[in-house]
Amino acid sequence: MRRFLPLFLVPLSLTLAADKKEQPLTPGGIYRAHDQQRPRPPVITPPGWSTQEKAGTAPSDAIVLFDGKDLSQWKREARKHSPPGDDKPQWKVADGYMEIVGKSGGIRTRKTFKGDYQLHIEWCTPATVSGNGQGRGNSGVFIAGFPEIQVLDSYQNDTYPDGQAGGLYSNYPPMVNASRKPGEWQSYDIFFERPKNGSKSKLTVIHNGVVVQYQREFESSLQEGDLSLQDHLNPVRYRNIWLRPLRVDSDKVGTPAAAAKPVKAATPAKAQPTATIHIKTMTAQMKYDQNEFTVRPGQPVKILFENGDDLPHNIVFCEPGTDTAAMSMKQMENAEAALKRNWVPDDKRIWLHSKMLNPHQSETLTFTAPEKPGDYPFVCTFPGHALTMNGRLKVLPMGEGLQDLKFALYLGNWQKLPDFAKLKPHREGVIEDNRVQIKLDDYKNEFGVVFTGKLNAPRKGSYRFYIAGDDGVRLLIDGKKVVEYDGIHPAGDIKEGSTQLEAGPHEFRMEYFQGGGDIAIFAAWKGSNFDITPLSTWMPKGWEKGPKAKQQKEFEPIPLVVKDEPVLYRNFIAGAGNRGIAVGYPGGINITWSAESMNLALVWRGAFMDASRHWNSRGGGHQPPLGYDVFQPTGEVTPALHITEQPASEWPVWDSKSGVRYPGFTWKGYTLDGKRSPTFRYAWQGADIEESFTASGNGNLPEGKATLTRTIKIQGSLPAHAWYRIAKAEKIEAQNGSFLCKSGPIAFRIQAEGAQIAGTQLVIPAKPGTLTLTYQWAQ
Amino acid sequence: MTRFSLVALLTVSSPWLWAADPVEADFYKITTFETPKETALEVGSMDLLPEGRLVMGTRRGEVWIVSGAASSDPSQVRYQLFASGLHEVLGIAYNPKDKAIYATTRYEITRLKDLDGDGRADAFENVSDEWGVSGDYHEYALGSRFDRQGDLWVTLCLTGSFSSQVPFRGWAVRVKPDGTMVPTCSGIRSPGGMGFDAEGEVYYVDNQGPWHGSCTLQHLVPGSFQGHPGGNIWYDKAPNMGPRPIDPIPEAFKGNLKRGESNPNGDPGRIVTERKRIKELLPPAIYMVHGKIGNSSTFILCDETQGKFGPFEKQLFIADQSHSNISRVFLETINGIKQGVVIPFRSGFASGLIGGRMDEEGRLFAGGSDRGWGARGGKPYCFEKLEWTGKLPFEIHEMRAKPDGFEITFTEPVEAKTAGDAASYSMREFTYAYREDYGGDEVQEVLPKITQVQVGADKKSVRLTISPLTQGHVHELHLDGVKNAQNQPLLHSVAYYTLNEIPAR
| Average pLDDT for A608-624 | 91
Using a CB-CB distance cutoff of 8 angstroms, which residues of chain B are in contact with residue A568? 84-85
Instruction: Report the residue of chain A nearest B88, measured CA to CA.
Output: A571
- Using the beta-carbon criterion (under 8 Å), do B86 and A572 form an inter-chain contact? no
- The per-residue pLDDT for range A620-647, each reduced to its tens digit, is 899 999 888 899 999 889 999 999 999 9
Phi-psi region at A208: left, alpha or beta (left = phi > 0; alpha = psi -120 to 50): left
Q: What is the CATH number of the domain that holds A584?
A: 2.70.98
Instruction: Report the residue of chain A nearest B112, measured CA to CA.
Output: A671
Distance from CA of A610 to the nearest CA of B (A): 13
| Average pLDDT for A340-351 | 87
Q: Which residues pair with A296 in a beta bridge?
A: none
Percentage of chain A beyond pLDDT 90 is 56
Asked if omega into A116 is within 30° of 0 (cis), the reply is: yes
Using the Cα atoms of residue A96, residue A102, residue A104 and residue A109 in order, give the sign of their dihedral. Answer: positive
Instruction: Report the residue of chain B nearest A616, measured CA to CA.
Output: B371
Closest CA to A691 of A561, A596, A584, A598: A598
Distance of CA A112 to the CA centre of its chain: 34
Domain boundary, last residue among A503, A523, A545: A545
Q: What is the CATH number of the domain that holds A200?
A: 2.60.120.560
| Average pLDDT for A730-751 | 91
- Asked if the structure places residue A256 within a domain, the reply is no
pLDDT at B261: 53
Q: Quote the CA–CA distance of B72 and A663 in Å, as a whole number.
A: 54
pLDDT at B349: 97
- Using the beta-carbon criterion (under 8 Å), do A581 and B60 form an inter-chain contact? no
- Selecting from B60, B84, B134 the residue whose C-beta is nearest the C-beta of A568 gives B84
User: How many CB contacts within 8 angstroms connect chain A with chain B?
Assistant: 93
Distance from CA of B114 to the nearest CA of A (A): 10
Q: Are residues A460 and A528 in the same domain?
A: yes
pLDDT at B263: 55
- Using the beta-carbon criterion (under 8 Å), do A656 and B126 form an inter-chain contact? no
- Using the beta-carbon criterion (under 8 Å), do B59 and A619 form an inter-chain contact? yes
- Using the beta-carbon criterion (under 8 Å), do B107 and A579 form an inter-chain contact? yes
- Using the beta-carbon criterion (under 8 Å), do A569 and B61 form an inter-chain contact? yes
Distance from CA of A654 to the nearest CA of B (A): 12
- Using the beta-carbon criterion (under 8 Å), do B133 and A578 form an inter-chain contact? yes
- The per-residue pLDDT for range B440-490, each reduced to its tens digit, is 888 888 999 999 999 999 999 999 999 999 999 999 999 999 999 999 999
Confidence of residue A22 (pLDDT cuts 50, 70, 90): low
Using a CB-CB distance cutoff of 8 angstroms, which residues of chain B are in contact with residue A567? 84-85
- Selecting from B87, B126, B136 the residue whose C-beta is nearest the C-beta of A669 gives B126
Percentage of chain B beyond pLDDT 70 is 92
Using a CB-CB distance cutoff of 8 angstroms, which residues of chain A are in contact with residue B167? 659-660
* Cβ-based interface (< 8 Å): residues of A facing B: 567-572, 577-579, 581-582, 595, 611, 615-622, 656-660, 667-674, 676
Q: Quote the CA–CA distance of A486 and A471 in Å, as a whole number.
A: 7
Using a CB-CB distance cutoff of 8 angstroms, which residues of chain A are in contact with residue B138? 618, 620
Phi-psi region at B326: left, alpha or beta (left = phi > 0; alpha = psi -120 to 50): beta
Confidence of residue A440 (pLDDT cuts 50, 70, 90): low
Residue type, A218: F
Query: Could you tell me the strand order of the sheet in which A628-631 lies?
Result: A567-571, A580-585, A589-594, A599-605, A628-631
Do residues A351 and A317 make contact, with C-beta atoms less than 8 angstroms apart?
yes
- Selecting from B60, B85, B110 the residue whose C-beta is nearest the C-beta of A615 gives B60
pLDDT at A16: 35
- Asked if the structure places residue A171 within a domain, the reply is yes
- The per-residue pLDDT for range A517-548, each reduced to its tens digit, is 788 899 999 988 888 999 998 888 778 776 75
- Asked if the structure places residue A368 within a domain, the reply is yes
The complex's ipTM works out to 0.93
pLDDT at B441: 84
Q: Are strands A599-605 and A628-631 parallel, antiparallel or unpaired?
A: antiparallel
pLDDT at B160: 87
Distance from CA of A577 to the nearest CA of B (A): 8
- The per-residue pLDDT for range A153-167, each reduced to its tens digit, is 999 999 999 999 999
Question: Which residues lie below 8 Å from residue B194, measured CB to CB, with a gap of 6+?
Answer: B91, B142, B143, B144, B153, B155, B202, B203, B204, B300
Do residues A231 and A106 make contact, with C-beta atoms less than 8 angstroms apart?
yes
Closest CA to A667 of B127, B21, B315, B131: B127
pLDDT at B1: 39
- Selecting from A567, A617, A669 the residue whose C-beta is nearest the C-beta of B372 gives A617
Q: How far is CA A222 from CA A73, A110, A120, A149, in A?
A: 21, 17, 20, 17
- Using the beta-carbon criterion (under 8 Å), do A571 and B87 form an inter-chain contact? yes
The residue segments making up the domain with residue A355 are 13-26+272-395
* B426 three-state secondary structure: strand
Using a CB-CB distance cutoff of 8 angstroms, which residues of chain A are in contact with residue B137? 572, 618-621
- Using the beta-carbon criterion (under 8 Å), do B129 and A671 form an inter-chain contact? no
- Using the beta-carbon criterion (under 8 Å), do A617 and B108 form an inter-chain contact? no
- Using the beta-carbon criterion (under 8 Å), do B134 and A669 form an inter-chain contact? no
Is residue A33 over pLDDT 60? yes
- Using the beta-carbon criterion (under 8 Å), do B133 and A659 form an inter-chain contact? yes
Higher pLDDT among residues B328 and B442, named by residue: B328
Closest CA to B299 of B142, B169, B190, B167: B142
Using the Cα atoms of residue A740, residue A743, residue A744 and residue A749 in order, give the sign of their dihedral. Answer: negative
Is residue B320 over pLDDT 70? yes
The CATH architecture of the domain made up of B396-498 is Sandwich (2.60)
- Using the beta-carbon criterion (under 8 Å), do B134 and A657 form an inter-chain contact? yes
Q: Are residues A469 and A385 in the same domain?
A: no
- Using the beta-carbon criterion (under 8 Å), do B126 and A668 form an inter-chain contact? yes
Confidence of residue B6 (pLDDT cuts 50, 70, 90): very low
| Average pLDDT for A477-493 | 88
Number of domains chain A is built from: 4
| Interface mutation target, options B41, B58, B107, chain A, most CBs of A under 10 Å | B107
Window from A262-276, B84-98, B466-480 with minimum mean pLDDT:
A262-276
Window from A33-42, A356-365, A602-611, B485-494 with minimum mean pLDDT:
A33-42
Instruction: Report the residue of chain A nearest B125, measured CA to CA.
Output: A669
pLDDT at A270: 56
Using a CB-CB distance cutoff of 8 angstroms, which residues of chain B are in contact with residue A611? 60
Look over chain A and give the mean of its residue pLDDT values, rounded to a whole number. Answer: 87
- Asked if the structure places residue A34 within a domain, the reply is no
Question: Which residues lie below 8 Å from residue B272, measured CB to CB, with a gap of 6+?
Answer: B283, B471, B472
Window from A66-80, A714-728, B123-137, B266-280 with minimum mean pLDDT:
B266-280
Burial class (CB in 10 A: 0-12, 13-18, 19+), A644: middle
Q: Quote the CA–CA distance of B35 and B381 in Å, as a whole number.
A: 9
Distance from CA of B134 to the nearest CA of A (A): 6
Is residue A439 over pLDDT 80? no
pLDDT at A271: 67
Q: Are residues A222 and A102 in the same domain?
A: yes
Using a CB-CB distance cutoff of 8 angstroms, which residues of chain A are in contact with residue B110? 669
The CATH architecture of the domain made up of B22-245+280-388 is 6 Propeller (2.120)
- Asked if the structure places residue A692 within a domain, the reply is yes
pLDDT at A544: 78
- The per-residue pLDDT for range A670-707, each reduced to its tens digit, is 999 999 999 999 999 999 999 999 999 999 887 889 99
- Asked if the structure places residue A262 within a domain, the reply is no
Confidence of residue A43 (pLDDT cuts 50, 70, 90): confident
pLDDT at A550: 44
Is residue A216 over pLDDT 90? yes
Using a CB-CB distance cutoff of 8 angstroms, which residues of chain A are in contact with residue B60? 611, 615
pLDDT at B256: 52
Using a CB-CB distance cutoff of 8 angstroms, which residues of chain B are in contact with residue A578? 107, 133-135
Is residue A75 over pLDDT 60? yes
All CATH 2.120.10.30 domain ranges of chain B, comma separated, are 22-245+280-388
**What values do phi and psi take at A469, rounded to 5?**
-170, 160
- The per-residue pLDDT for range A229-243, each reduced to its tens digit, is 999 989 999 999 999
- Using the beta-carbon criterion (under 8 Å), do B137 and A619 form an inter-chain contact? yes
- Using the beta-carbon criterion (under 8 Å), do A671 and B108 form an inter-chain contact? no
| Interface mutation target, options A553, A560, A565, A570, chain B, most CBs of B under 10 Å | A570
Q: Quote the CA–CA distance of A409 and A440 in Å, as a whole number.
A: 9
Using a CB-CB distance cutoff of 8 angstroms, which residues of chain A are in contact with residue B132? 659-660
Is residue B264 over pLDDT 80? no
Look over chain B and give the mean of its residue pLDDT values, rounded to a whole number. Answer: 92
Higher pLDDT among residues A737 and B270, named by residue: A737
Using a CB-CB distance cutoff of 8 angstroms, which residues of chain A are in contact with residue B106? 570-571
| Average pLDDT for B27-49 | 97
- Using the beta-carbon criterion (under 8 Å), do B40 and A611 form an inter-chain contact? no
| Interface mutation target, options A617, A672, A681, chain B, most CBs of B under 10 Å | A672
Q: Quote the CA–CA distance of A357 and A347 in Å, as a whole number.
A: 20
Using a CB-CB distance cutoff of 8 angstroms, which residues of chain B are in contact with residue A660? 132, 167
All CATH 2.60.40.1220 domain ranges of chain B, comma separated, are 396-498
- Using the beta-carbon criterion (under 8 Å), do A659 and B165 form an inter-chain contact? yes
- Using the beta-carbon criterion (under 8 Å), do A620 and B105 form an inter-chain contact? no
Window from A32-46, B253-267, B339-353, B466-480 with minimum mean pLDDT:
B253-267
Distance from CA of B37 to the nearest CA of A (A): 15
Question: Which residues lie below 8 Å from residue B1, measured CB to CB, with a gap of 6+?
Answer: none
| Average pLDDT for A174-195 | 94
Q: Are residues A526 and A469 in the same domain?
A: yes
